[in-house]
Amino acid sequence: MANVVVVGSQWGDEGKGKIVDWLSERADVVVRYQGGHNAGHTLVIDGVSYKLSLLPSGLVRGKFSVIGNGVVVDPHHFVAEIAKIAAQGISVTPDVLRIAENAPLILSLHRELDALREDSNSGLKIGTTRRGIGPAYEDKVGRRAIRVCDLGEPETLMDKIERLLTHHNALRRGMGAAEVEAQVIHDELMAVADQILPFMDRVWELLDERRKRGERILFEGAQGALLDNDHGTYPFVTSSNTVAGQAAPGSGLGPTAVDYVLGITKAYTTRVGEGPFPTEQDNETGQFLGERGHEFGTVTGRKRRCGWFDAVIVKQTVRTSGIHGIALTKLDVLDGLDEIKVCVGYELDGERIDHLPASMGAQSRVKPIYETLEGWKETTAGARSWAELPAQAIKYVRRVEELIGATVALLSTSPEREDTILVQDPFQD
Ligand code: GDP
Ligand code: IMO
Ligand code: MG
């Protein structure tokens, strides 16, 4: 019996959705514990694709799922996403989904502030998803957020909104934006309250009880460790902790609830939005990876930046997230390349280093040191057993394991659910 955390080990879009869906067959509960609808998790089952942003990926298998308190919830998006997957035949009712009563809400003013900041000439452009994630987390930490449970107390909701607006309207005046009236926010929330409240629950207690009954919990991370607010490429990060440790406070369980950490790792590297990316290939190689890997953002449709595998950052994530094993995804995208490069260290101001430095300046100056491996001409796409892999592909996998200090537990060879090779079951560790 084990509870497993799935965490992105690069800059997001590593294939977490596919792996969570695959693993959820073995789990009893699937929990989202951070982020919001900035995430875009794609699952492909028998050629049909499902795109989830806020809802846990376990729902596609009908697994009992939870949106933990560490998630920021846009209530209108919540309702819309449920409708969207209902149209694909997946029914989401309170029988299969609960939301933490203490989860903070994303309001229209958060979305507007996100966009105002991104569009301002004086600000630092992060290239956010413009979904209000950062501003909503700021209000949570600032102790003025409206939370799910507040929807159930309409008599005091107006006071809370007014208190929130003393902050936001001052900010908006300073940015030259129109002030917001409390009634507008009140109406916006009341329009969806009845559709959210049936899902509300004391999630910390529910999860603890299920855990004690011996149920297996699968924690579904969003984004990736390099987008972590503390450990990522700050300030080009998201506004939550994305490292595996967040699974506990983001769901209301203690750290001892986690038994195994699975790092989802793409066989090359991608990033959406601004910020340092040492192994980026703004050339034919990047174009090849982008086209082969269909590297377009699920949420914003933006083209993802592509580059070689960076063992330095993944090795760092193995340490900052306490990764036991990895799920290596998109190996098939490398099929047909004559040679494949892997970053094994950085050069910073004439010195060799083996970590990503913390400062923004140093991060932008590091130069990758590459090792070149021989590619393979055979196809790995759709392989379902280790024996189907060409020798050079196995060599590549083994070298990645050596460089990052973690072994491959799962290998993914296409977007399809079943094109997955199990090497070591995280739930049986
Ligand atoms: P997530 O945010 O980590 O869930 O990843 P995304 O869903 O945003 O992006 C990963 C993309 O790669 C999705 O379109 C998946 O369907 C696809 N994908 C996942 N695993 C594989 C794989 O092994 N091979 C290929 N070719 N595509 C994959
Ligand atoms: P999944 O779960 C890739 C990036 C944005 C931007 C930065 C901050 O699908 O892996 P935000 O809107 O969060 O304030 O944007 O973080 N970003 C992601 N990049 N995958 C994601 O999620 C991301 N979620 C946010 O592009 O650079
Ligand atoms: Mg994604």
Q: What is the pLDDT of residue 222?
A: 98
35-73 pLDDT, tens digit each: 999 999 999 999 999 999 999 999 999 999 999 999 999
Q: Are 17 and 41 in contact (CB under 8 A)?
A: yes
| pTM, full prediction | 0.98
Location of structure tokens 């149209």: 87
How many whole angstroms from 416 Cα to the centroid of ligand 1? 9
What pLDDT sits at residue 297?
84
Contact 65 CB / ligand 2 (< 6 Å)? no
Tell me: the pLDDT tens digits for 336-381?
999 999 999 999 999 999 999 999 999 999 999 999 999 999 999 9
State the pLDDT confidence band at 300, using cuts at 50, 70 and 90: confident
Provide the pLDDT confidence category of residue 208 given band limits of 50, 70 and 90.
Answer: very high
Confidence of residue 8 (pLDDT cuts 50, 70, 90): very high
Mutational test site, ligand 1, from 329, 331, 418, 420, max ligand atoms within 8 Å of CB: 329
Residue 149: exposure state from Cβ atoms within 10 A (0-12, 13-18, ≥19): middle
Decide: 233 in ligand 2 pocket, CB within 6 A: no
The model's pLDDT over 273-283, given as tens digits with 9 standing for 90+, comes to 999 999 999 99
**Could you give the residue ranges of the DSSP H alpha helices within 124-181?**
133-141, 154-174
Confidence at residue 88, expressed as pLDDT on a 0 to 100 scale = 97
Q: Which two tokens stand for residue 113?
A: 């502030």
Residue-wise pLDDT for 393-412, tens only, equals: 999 999 999 999 999 999 99
Q: What is the mean pLDDT of the chain?
A: 97
Which residue ranges form the domains of the chain, and what is each CATH number?
A: 4-99+207-260 (3.40.440.10), 108-196 (1.10.300.10), 265-428 (3.90.170.10)
CA of 12 to the centre of ligand 3 (A): 6
Please identify which of the residues 37, 41, 160, 231 carries the catalytic annotation. 41
Predicted local distance difference test score (pLDDT) of residue 1: 56
**Residue 123 confidence (pLDDT) above 90:** no
Burial category of 144 from C-beta neighbours within 10 Å (exposed 0-12, middle 13-18, buried 19 and up): middle
Nearest residue to 4 via CA among 247, 260, 242: 260
Taken in order 397, 399, 400, 402, is the CA torsion positive or negative? positive
Helix 311-320, helix 391-404: angle, nearest 10:
50
Name all contacts of 399-403 with Cβ < 8 Å and 24+ positions apart.
399/342, 399/371, 399/373, 400/265, 400/267, 400/309, 400/311, 400/314, 400/328, 400/342, 401/326, 403/311, 403/314, 403/315, 403/342, 403/344
From the CA of 222, the nearest ligand is 2
36 C-alpha to center of ligand 3: Å? 12
pLDDT reading at 218 higher than 90: yes
Q: Which of 128, 229, 265, 306 most suits a substitution to test ligand 2, by most atoms within 8 Å of the C-beta? A: 128
Annotated binding residue 299: yes
